[in-house]
Amino acid sequence: MNLSDSLKIVIVGHVDHGKSTLIGRLLFDTGSIPEKRYQEVADTCRRQGRPFEFAYLMDALEEEREQNVTIDTTQTFFQTSKRPYVIIDAPGHKEFLKNMITGAACADAAILLLDGIEGVREQTRRHAYVLSLLGIRQVIVAVNKLDMVDFCREVFQQAENEIRAFLHTLDIVPTYVVPISARSGENIAAAQGGTVWYNGPSILSALDTFENLRADTRLAFRLPIQDVYKVGTRRIYVGRVATGSVEVGTQVTFLPSGRATKVKSIERWPQGGAQVAGAGESIGLTFDEEIFVERGEVLAPSNDLPIVTEEIKAGVFWLGKRPLQKGETYTLKLATAEGSAVCVDIEERLDSSTLEVIERHAAELHGSESGTVIFALKKAIAADLYLENGPLGRFVIEDNFLIGGGGTVRDLTAAEGSQKAQVIRLDDHFATEPDGNMIDLTRSRGSIEFVVTGRFGDRLAAGERVLFKLRGPKQIEPVALLAYEHNFCFTFSREEDFIALVLFSTAKPATQTAAADIAI
């Protein structure tokens, strides 16, 4: 089993909705239970005078067996024909919420377990909110215990409608909603005949469709610098590649310092040198010129940089013993950077069970509450929006050397003078695909300035249309300005992963092509 290729999943849901039983069944159905362990659990159940409990295959702590409750986050492994999995059992009780968040924070995907009879409960809502806060989008909802109602389709549909309506308020669209019985094994590895009315995938088949986000090299390259080694006359900058990939010869920039250089070599231990390295790899880098930067800097490609910021708006989940207070100073840690951060405003204080706004511009957040918080940083750091790049968009908050809570970056204010407008030559970004012309701006960050050529204008005047794929609503303004200045027209719509803006012209073609570029 190669754990570097594994998919990490977290199992969450209200207490007693069957998480440990589901995990035990997953282990059993994939042949991941050693015979000695199986017999140990069977003997335990026999002594307690109860039928075989699949939950005990996961609940390894003796205290849990005596109390029949999961109290800690536990990891174990199983494997399908596609790949290995690391499965995280997160506790459901409110008292152990910090343990649950610890488990969920490193997951690629989640199974939200729901008792089909009881429906959505307090911890269901709270755990779903945490999934939303952590940005987990690969979600299976497993509607459990349907064997207790003879696999009644109406019971399943009622539970499905209820959970979908709630998840909609969190901007979570479950990839699958699966009717199951963890105890009997219905739709865990395969259908057992109870849900003849269901034609979707089993839990294992659904998991096999998910992607390993930790090894995703499609995101922009980000390397938080962990340390600097001096070997002889060489300075080697080391860290773990958070996202994307880098190769020898790449032009890169350190942020927040802004120092730019080119990658000379990639060092790996004990394998030796390499030409390319990707997400999840721990590497060292040397550069064409001598650079002096410290831990906490982020290395990124010079044409796709994170934001250097001194102010962060974030969704925060607070777990500290003391309230998070407006005006207080805390330690904020994002990747390898850390520094003092002042809580300047708690814009919204939420009940994390109902998501109702308790108070606006509140003075404090109490334990197990969440909210939208603005932090002012004493020293600038490099960061991304969480929805664009998870590892560079989440952080933890320390209160007197204790972890008080965590957050995900929702908006960033660029530090003054740190970000120059990105100049985009439309001809350079112009691509023609089978479905038409396209300019993709989803990887562009910060302010944008366009350079428009006469050739580009002539193509629109000739009746061609161009689809602009935008990362977010803030990019609509510069394209709208482009349309206004050049008398173009546009329409836009909201797609699943981007904003689609179609630019076109109603003007007649020019008789001559303008030779000069026009800068906006």
Average pLDDT score, the chain:
83
Mean pLDDT, residues 232-239: 91
pLDDT bucket at 73, cuts 50 / 70 / 90: very low
DSSP 105-125: TT-SEEEEEEETTT-S-HHHH
CATH superfamily of 7-207: P-loop containing nucleotide triphosphate hydrolases (3.40.50.300)
Tokens of 412: 């960033």
> Is it the case that residue 220 has pLDDT exceeding 70?
yes
448-475 mean pLDDT: 84
| pLDDT tens for each residue of 339-355 | 999 999 999 998 766 66
Q: Per mean pLDDT, which of 39-43, 99-103, 257-261, 473-477 is the most reliable? A: 257-261
CATH match for 223-301 among 3.40.50.200, 2.60.40.1840, 2.40.30.10, 3.40.30.10: 2.40.30.10
pLDDT band at 200 (very low <50, low <70, confident <90, very high): very high
Q: Which residue has the higher pLDDT, 20 or 366?
A: 366
Terminal CA-CA length for the chain: 55
| Residue 461 pLDDT | 85
Radius of gyration of the chain (CA): 26
Residue 24 has pLDDT above 90, yes or no: no
pLDDT: which is higher, 24 or 255: 255
pLDDT exceeds cutoff 70 at 96 = no
User: Is residue 65's pLDDT more than 50?
Assistant: no
Can you give the pLDDT at residue 64?
A: 44
CA distance 224 to 243: 10
Tell me, what's the pLDDT at 93? 47
Q: How confident is the model at residue 515 (pLDDT cuts 50, 70, 90)?
A: very low
Q: At a CB cut-off of 8 Å and minimum separation 6, what does 90 contact?
A: 10, 11, 12, 19, 70, 73, 99, 100, 103, 104, 127
Q: Please tell me what DSSP assigns to residue 222.
A: B
pLDDT of 106 > 70? The answer is yes
Q: Higher confidence at residue 307 or residue 351?
A: 307
The pLDDT tens digits of the residues spanning 253-280 come to 999 999 999 999 999 988 778 899 998 8
Task: Look up residue 282 and give its two tokens.
Answer: 């721990």
pLDDT for 368: 77
**Higher-confidence residue: 389 or 255?**
255
pLDDT given at position 492: 86
User: Predicted confidence band at 76 (pLDDT cuts at 50, 70, 90)?
Assistant: low
Nearest to 443 by CA among 431, 425, 429: 429
pLDDT reading at 222 higher than 90: yes
* The pLDDT of residue 3 is above 80: no
**DSSP 3-state of 373:** strand
Does 427 have pLDDT greater than 80?
Answer: no
DSSP assignment of 33-67 equals: S-HHHHHHHHHHHHHHT----GGGGT---HHHHHH
List b or e across 228-264, with b for residues whose CB sees 16 or more CB atoms inside 10 angstroms: beeeeeebbbbbbbbbbbbebebebbbbbbebebebe
CATH code, 307-414:
2.40.30.10
Q: What pLDDT sits at residue 10?
A: 86
Share of the chain above pLDDT 90, in %: 39
Nearest Cα to Cα of residue 228 among 280, 283, 282, 295: 295
Question: 380 pLDDT band (50/70/90 cuts)?
Answer: very high
- Whether the predicted pLDDT of 453 surpasses 80: no
Q: pLDDT-derived band of residue 376, with 50, 70 and 90 as boundaries?
A: very high
The share of the chain scoring above pLDDT 70, in percent, equals 84
- pLDDT given for residue 90 in this prediction: 56
**pLDDT at residue 103 tops 80:** no
Q: Which of 315-329, 378-392, 423-437 has the lowest mean pLDDT?
A: 423-437
**Does pLDDT of 67 surpass 60?**
no
β pairing state of 369-383 and 282-287 = unpaired
Q: Report the candidate in 7, 10, 9 with the shortest Cα–Cα distance to residue 127.
A: 10
Of the two residues 423 and 337, the one the predictor is more confident about is 337
pLDDT at site 299: 96
The pLDDT of residue 2 is 52
pTM of the entire predicted model: 0.66
Give the model's confidence band at 199: pLDDT under 50 very low, under 70 low, under 90 confident, else very high: very high
3-state secondary structure 121-190: CHHHHHHHHHHHHCCCCCEEEEEECHHHHCCCHHHHHHHHHHHHHHHHHCCCCCCEEEECECCCCECCCE
pLDDT score of 301 more than 80: yes
Identity of the residue numbered 129? Y
For range 79-87, the mean pLDDT? 87
Backbone angles phi, psi at 257, to 5 degrees: -70, -30
| pLDDT confidence of residue 17 | 81
The three-class DSSP label of residue 352 is: coil
